[in-house]
Structure 1
Amino acid sequence: MTTTKTKTTHIDRTAHEPRDNSLHELLITSITPISPTIRIVRLSPSQPQPQPSIHFFPGQWLDLYHPPFPPSQKPGGFTITSPPSALPYLELAIQSSPTNPPAAYLWQEPPSSLLNTTVRVRIGGSFIYPPLQSSSLLPFKKVLFVAGGLGINPIMSMLSHIATLPPSERRAKEVAVLYGMKDPNGKIQAGDTSQALFLDRIAGLFAGDEDGLKGTVKLFLTGSGQEEHTESLDSEKVIQSAQGVQLPLVKRRMALPDLAGVIGEEKDEVAVYICGVPSMTDELVEELTSPSPKGLCLNERRVLHEKWW
């Protein structure tokens, strides 16, 4: 979550969201650069704990305060990408953003200069799987995750959580992921899956093991320019993940027909989670819930969403 064009802050945008009362002190114990603009940061307790003192739901984020902790400091907002089963550590994917002080702090060079530094965090957010109030979401057998760019972050936590459950305990028996991202240099379509944030990790959750997730992952790649929105069903290409999982891709933006193709006729048995930039998120939510013939007429309680900035 970085600064928007209107310069609103994370704390302003999420003022209506639920938050824990407690602040927790954690150490930065690992920093792994995975691209020129993304690094993975791991936070851990300073002392071993018999039981984790932090509890969170898949999809939640952190308010993060960094040294020297001035009283006027506004926290940064960073989504937890690890599942609750990975506690006591928390994993964050941080995008370089020099104009966002918390992100800039976590992008200091060299990364080793930040190791064993203390930060303070508070858990928050309501975009979670399963939802905070399960009764607010109608029963479902299939879940569709739709991500644009860094919108994959909360979905990574959700997918990992589902995969840790025994198949008999998974509410969703079928899981589908539609993942849109920029590929300005064409490396992803050429087969370099390491260029797509968390793609190999996600594909690994769908690998052939009988306990793996059952469903599909499809990619939508665009360049750095302004592509026209199209609903045409372009020809697909298939690339392989590091684990050998087949990943179909198309070189265009995703659109409503792509979501409709996954949902099929089972509109009363699906839950849809969407996370992307505001324009993408708003557009897809409106189309999914609008009446026919322009929309899919999904019950609004079946569509959950969050915007990343």
Structure 2
Amino acid sequence: MATVKDTIPHIIRTAEDPRQKGVWSARLSKIEQVNPKIRLLRLSLPRDGPPLRHLPGQYVDLYVPNIDVVGGFTITSPPQASSQAQQDPHIELAIQISPDNPPAAFLWRPESEILNSTLSFRIGGNFVYPPMTLKRTECESIDRVVFIAGGVGINPIMSMISTLNEAGTTRVLGGMPKHVRVLYTSRRERNPDGQAAEILFENRLKSIAENWNTHQQQVDYQYAFFETSEPSSVGAPKPGNMAVHSRRISQNDLLEALGSEDGRANTVVYVCGLPTMTDQYVELLKNAPGMDEKRVLCEKWW
């Protein structure tokens, strides 16, 4: 059953969000089928066009030809990918199949019908890293960031993690804080042949965790994946800085991710997922000892 929020168009639901001035055009240059329900799209930007400087976690208001409804889709790539210094400046979107959403339905048409289409978009959103809720000096003092995602709620968080990963430990450029915790929960779909399908960004997140496992003296990076599929296909926890669990994220998992109570003054938390999950986790985290509620940020998807 659809919730009330389902019936509110993206452009109205996000009307109070900040938006950048200007409209950009891009070419749909690549389509990757992640699993039966999710596609990854690359929108390539002209190298001689206006520069795009989005923040990690922001979304696009997407204008699809001959469709009156404006689509709202989170950018999953880091801002570095859209730089005109790149060979192929672009943004990436992860689109979940949704026949009742006209822009999403267009982006799920056969590849031959939409590849190389020209799409226009604006940039918006305030669920970004570093937080807009903090002063610059407070952002510079962040030494622990906790990312918590459920399902396609990983989209804005993927952009944030990728941004930190590419910046490395150069803090002046917005690099990795001293402590990073990533908690991601999702079901695993089945391909038409019955085989287990890939989960959105699972390989990318694993690769980033492996990278920082070799730099633990510089950054304490821990990644935990919680698979809720039934029957479970999860194996034993992995060595190093990665763990895989066959259950939901628990209250203890959340509190452990925050670290010790006396060290939470410079911690920020990002939560993105289904409304029920997000509300429950945010309430717990905001009221955790040592946490300031302005340091717990959330975005819901419906």
Same fold (TM over 0.5): yes
Cα distance in structure 2, aligned partners of 1:118 and 1:42: 12
Q: How does 1:17-32 map to 2 (within 5 A)?
A: 17-32=17-32
Aligned counterpart in structure 1 of residue 185 of structure 2, from 147, 170, 180: 180
Counterpart in the other structure of 1:232: none
Alignment length (residue pairs): 280
Query: How many percent of aligned residue pairs carry the same amino acid?
Result: 39
Counterpart in the other structure of 2:94: 93
The reply to whether residue 237 of structure 1 matches residue 232 of structure 2 is no
Q: Which has a greater percent of helix?
A: 2
How far residue 218 of structure 1 moved from its aligned partner, in angstroms, is 0.5
Counterpart in the other structure of 2:86: none
How far residue 104 of structure 1 moved from its aligned partner, in angstroms, is 0.2
Give the direction of change, closer, same or farther, for the CA distance of 1:134–1:171 in structure 2 (3 Å limit).
Answer: farther
Aligned counterpart in structure 2 of residue 218 of structure 1, from 224, 228, 253: 224
Do the aligned partners of 1:147 and 1:274 also contact (CA within 8 Å) in 2?
Answer: yes
Give the direction of change, closer, same or farther, for the CA distance of 1:246–1:289 in structure 2 (3 Å limit).
Answer: closer
How far residue 206 of structure 1 moved from its aligned partner, in angstroms, is 2.1
Deviates more, 1:30-39 or 1:247-256: 247-256
Aligned counterpart in structure 1 of residue 169 of structure 2, from 167, 170, 195: 167
Counterpart in the other structure of 2:295: 302
How far residue 4 of structure 1 moved from its aligned partner, in angstroms, is 6.0
Q: Structure 1: state its 5+ residue gaps.
A: 226-234
Do the aligned partners of 2:237 and 2:244 also contact (CA within 8 Å) in 1?
Answer: yes
User: Is the partner of 2:16 in helix, strand or coil?
Assistant: coil
Give the direction of change, closer, same or farther, for the CA distance of 1:82–1:208 in structure 2 (3 Å limit).
Answer: closer
Aligned counterpart in structure 1 of residue 51 of structure 2, from 50, 53, 77: 53
Aligned counterpart in structure 2 of residue 198 of structure 1, from 198, 201, 209: 201
Give the direction of change, closer, same or farther, for the CA distance of 1:82–1:177 in structure 2 (3 Å limit).
Answer: same
Do the aligned partners of 1:82 and 1:160 also contact (CA within 8 Å) in 2?
Answer: yes
Give the direction of change, closer, same or farther, for the CA distance of 1:82–1:211 in structure 2 (3 Å limit).
Answer: farther
Counterpart in the other structure of 1:153: 155
Cα distance in structure 2, aligned partners of 1:134 and 1:264: 20
User: Is the partner of 2:283 in helix, strand or coil?
Assistant: helix
Cα distance in structure 1, aligned partners of 2:52 and 2:90: 9
Deviations 1:203-229 (A, max 9, x none): 21122465686411111121369xxxx
Q: How does 1:53-72 map to 2 (within 5 A)?
A: 53-68=51-66
Cα distance in structure 2, aligned partners of 1:122 and 1:3: 26
Do the aligned partners of 1:97 and 1:103 also contact (CA within 8 Å) in 2?
Answer: yes
TM-score by length of 1: 0.82
How far residue 107 of structure 1 moved from its aligned partner, in angstroms, is 0.1
How far residue 44 of structure 1 moved from its aligned partner, in angstroms, is 1.2
Counterpart in the other structure of 1:229: none
Give the direction of change, closer, same or farther, for the CA distance of 1:28–1:6 in structure 2 (3 Å limit).
Answer: closer
Do the aligned partners of 1:166 and 1:211 also contact (CA within 8 Å) in 2?
Answer: no
User: Is the partner of 1:43 in helix, strand or coil?
Assistant: strand
Do the aligned partners of 2:134 and 2:294 also contact (CA within 8 Å) in 1?
Answer: no
Do the aligned partners of 2:186 and 2:226 also contact (CA within 8 Å) in 1?
Answer: yes
User: Is the partner of 2:207 in helix, strand or coil?
Assistant: helix
Query: What is the identity, as a one-letter code, of the residue corresponding to 2:69?
Result: K
Do the aligned partners of 2:146 and 2:182 also contact (CA within 8 Å) in 1?
Answer: yes
Cα distance in structure 2, aligned partners of 1:25 and 1:260: 43
User: Is the partner of 2:170 in helix, strand or coil?
Assistant: helix
Counterpart in the other structure of 2:282: 285
Counterpart in the other structure of 1:40: 40
How far residue 65 of structure 1 moved from its aligned partner, in angstroms, is 0.9
TM-score by length of 2: 0.84
Counterpart in the other structure of 1:231: none
How far residue 264 of structure 1 moved from its aligned partner, in angstroms, is 2.2
Do the aligned partners of 2:189 and 2:199 also contact (CA within 8 Å) in 1?
Answer: no
Give the direction of change, closer, same or farther, for the CA distance of 1:3–1:161 in structure 2 (3 Å limit).
Answer: farther
Do the aligned partners of 1:260 and 1:296 also contact (CA within 8 Å) in 2?
Answer: no
Query: What is the identity, as a one-letter code, of the residue corresponding to 1:132?
Result: M
Give the direction of change, closer, same or farther, for the CA distance of 1:32–1:4 in structure 2 (3 Å limit).
Answer: farther
Give the direction of change, closer, same or farther, for the CA distance of 1:200–1:283 in structure 2 (3 Å limit).
Answer: same
Q: Structure 2: state its 5+ residue gaps.
A: 83-88
User: Is the partner of 1:197 in helix, strand or coil?
Assistant: coil
User: Is the partner of 1:206 in helix, strand or coil?
Assistant: helix
The reply to whether residue 247 of structure 1 matches residue 250 of structure 2 is no
User: Is the partner of 2:135 in helix, strand or coil?
Assistant: helix
How far residue 300 of structure 1 moved from its aligned partner, in angstroms, is 0.6
How far residue 94 of structure 1 moved from its aligned partner, in angstroms, is 0.5
